[in-house]
Structure 1
């Protein structure tokens, strides 16, 4: 039985109960976690979560204490979200790509009581980086102690509204914020995604997204909710992803747009993509050209464009049957989410009129850790016309809803380019550049300019020569009005990426603004 045939249960439970589902549904002997040198069944996964939770509870006496992880994908980082929940602790995953200073900020900000990490990362810490009374333990030693102790504490009886995790944003727009998530947030997120992706017990998910990322964690949780198996992968090159798909019979692959672009540029080995059932996108909008490439290379796989934000997990998805006709749409609300488009007066925006996306319902996070000022800006009372009421996430993203009820991304209000009195969406310029077939990726930026307010600069990735540059300029002049023409086009062999694999617009803007000012 697939989850699409099961009732969509809206009742949240303690998150660690996920590992009990396989036993009650009769698939405890099925594969759950495919590690480099070991395969764990769902029964074995449950036992290891028990042991790790028991060891954590014996080491950290105070419930609600924060336990941080700073390690590559593997047994520890996959088990810890559930083990910490079972032990009554709050898990704080640190992206393994972050450096010492960034990790130290997160550890100090959350007041971690324990840090479990790889030896190389722990050795990089300097005096004063660990909070007072924070114990640092190498991940192998932690797993060995948990296995030797054999102390189990069984399923927790936590209140679903209890805090369970703090996920720190990448910090591309300021110091990282710790988003506070409850058992209910993560449980219902797993139920929702497993349901609308129609995941089944025989599914195999290749977990390529960082586990410190909201959808990265959901790769684990939604798959295990459905009774499927997860293959954690830290990859060096895009071809490693294709090889892993072939080696493990992967059925589900999630990625962000920069990775999808690289994957479409590969020559996929025979059989590498044959078993793929679904592709899911998050972390940025797909372009028409990228959608066409993905559906051509993976014709047997359903493509699920999605939109989300860490403060409310996922918000929308587009039904694969609508992708060909509406390739750039964000779709509609996922289960358990209410998505409103609100005008500047707080009223429902008219059809096709631009407004702010407001997310209401039980997937809304609890705010930012130890940051009431920034919490008050983003987490505010839901609009009066919300059926859920309570606290909502006011995203700051500008969208519109068409006659079919489908949502379309316009841009972030703080990312809109204001040039010569015109309010310009960067996405529109980027889509025109990619549609030229002369570049693979594009980022439009507004660089401060005394005369214009903002001057438009376009950064593109592609093979460049004088002829290519001239062709792109001519194409943009043909497709875009004069006020949307880039003042300068910057060609790159590669785009900078932030720790979550998204294009780092902030570093590009800093670099180009510095050059423009000099």
Structure 2
């Protein structure tokens, strides 16, 4: 049966689950669908008393009750949720708060304590998550599901760009609702499924762990793990059937022991945030012989674009597959034509999963969000990904290369410029170039090439204060001079080539 293409307000996601069934399993507490609906009503009512419709409410916390419920509670209250990656530090958080114009920030007490004067907009109220839930229970609930227009803005997800600070992708109720329906459909999720949510809820892939499972009436177990071995322990404890991860985490998970009680219930493994290697596919197949493996490709700007049918993984382990439900994926040549079989072109995503653009950034929106090609069935606005792909005779897509300079490390999209700006801001270097170097475990490792007379230890310490862990350079390479191109700019290609030769010695 085809998935229902009619979008609804996001807060309706919880309406499908059995009232007595587990919806959310937190540390020390299990919430049924009935209990979660009650908490949602409390939180939505309290948020509505704090801000006018359309205001932005941000969250900066680990996977607790508040962060899991905020996307739906903000939607019911007519507000716009802005989830912030809990790994980010105060400089990135300050940018997101200012750029989004957040009226409310809910976070863990320890994280909020790191913010300094000037980091928080004057009109933004701060609440730690425990206080937020306590106040919510004291107010008037919004118990009835909302009648919001599915086209309304529901969330802004910040993602790194290759040329500067994170930019906010605007997602509507319809974007996220149809994303949940699509994924629940092609994964075959049901009421008896248990999803272990290990990915950050600030990512579209991480959020969808909640949304697709709740749409199907299943149970979600959020996990903030410290070590890879924590994951199989949680899978065994909760009878997990569905596990989503990114390639570097899968590598770690294949290196730890999996007890039989963790392996036996597993029905499906899903991957995004980077391609699986042939070797990793083999390792996962050996570890989970009965589980279906779903390689996927996605864009925050269009949520998710493709998946590979598990029955095809062994024969086509490097393929991106084909379009997910509600997505139209075209391969477009440089002259605007639809590419022939095995001809390289740009991946263009059309259809109702396409986001509304970048928050308050018309210039960058115009670069990425452009009218769909004339041959599109959906028409309207499309996401021109910048990624180069080809489609074979069977219709299967294969990744060829990335047009921009983004670094992909441990599933994170990292802006080279953001690292370079942080390095120069220390005053310890005059020039800086951040590069991604191929690495088996993390995809790409960050290397920083700098020119200056500063102290190496001081630079490393300064970057540790200003940048999150996943942006930290693995190595810093000092130079007396850096090559320039004919336009007088730093020659990134020459610097990368020189670094590669150095590392290969």
1:223–1:115 distance in 2 versus 1, CA, 3 Å: same
- The residue that corresponds to 2:300 in the other structure is 310
- 1:122-271 aligned at under 5 Å gives the runs 122-170=112-160, 174-271=164-261
Q: Distance in 1 between matches of 2:274 and 2:16?
A: 33
Deviations 1:251-282 (Å, cap 9, x if unpaired)?
A: 00000000001111112123222111000000
- The residue that corresponds to 2:337 in the other structure is 347
Task: Give the counterpart of 1:365 among 347, 350, 355.
Answer: 355
Task: Give the counterpart of 1:286 among 259, 265, 276.
Answer: 276
- The residue that corresponds to 1:411 in the other structure is 401
- The residue that corresponds to 2:103 in the other structure is 113
Deviations 1:278-330 (Å, cap 9, x if unpaired)?
A: 00000001111110110111001000000001000010000000000000100
User: Is 1:46 paired with 2:37?
Assistant: yes
- The residue that corresponds to 1:83 in the other structure is 73
- The residue that corresponds to 1:466 in the other structure is none
Deviations 1:34-88 (Å, cap 9, x if unpaired)?
A: 000110011111111011000110121x110000001110100000000000000
Q: Distance in 2 between matches of 1:77 and 1:10?
A: 27
- The residue that corresponds to 1:18 in the other structure is 13
- The residue that corresponds to 2:486 in the other structure is none
Q: Distance in 1 between matches of 2:160 and 2:234?
A: 27
1:514–1:389 distance in 2 versus 1, CA, 3 Å: closer
Q: Distance in 1 between matches of 2:85 and 2:66?
A: 14
- The residue that corresponds to 1:33 in the other structure is 24
TM-score w.r.t. structure 1 length?
A: 0.80
Q: Distance in 2 between matches of 1:130 and 1:391?
A: 34
| Matched positions, count | 438
Deviations 1:147-168 (Å, cap 9, x if unpaired)?
A: 1224225211111110000000
* Matched residue SS, 1:169: strand
* Matched residue SS, 2:270: strand
* Matched residue SS, 1:124: coil
TM-score w.r.t. structure 2 length?
A: 0.82
Q: Distance in 1 between matches of 2:322 and 2:129?
A: 41
RMSD, matched Cα = 2.7
- The residue that corresponds to 1:96 in the other structure is 86
Structure 1 unmatched runs, 5+: 417-425, 428-444, 446-455, 463-495
- The residue that corresponds to 2:452 in the other structure is none
Instruction: State which drifts further: 33-42 or 151-160.
Output: 151-160
Contact 1:210 1:500 in 2 (8 A): no
Contact 2:162 2:404 in 1 (8 A): no
Contact 2:38 2:143 in 1 (8 A): no
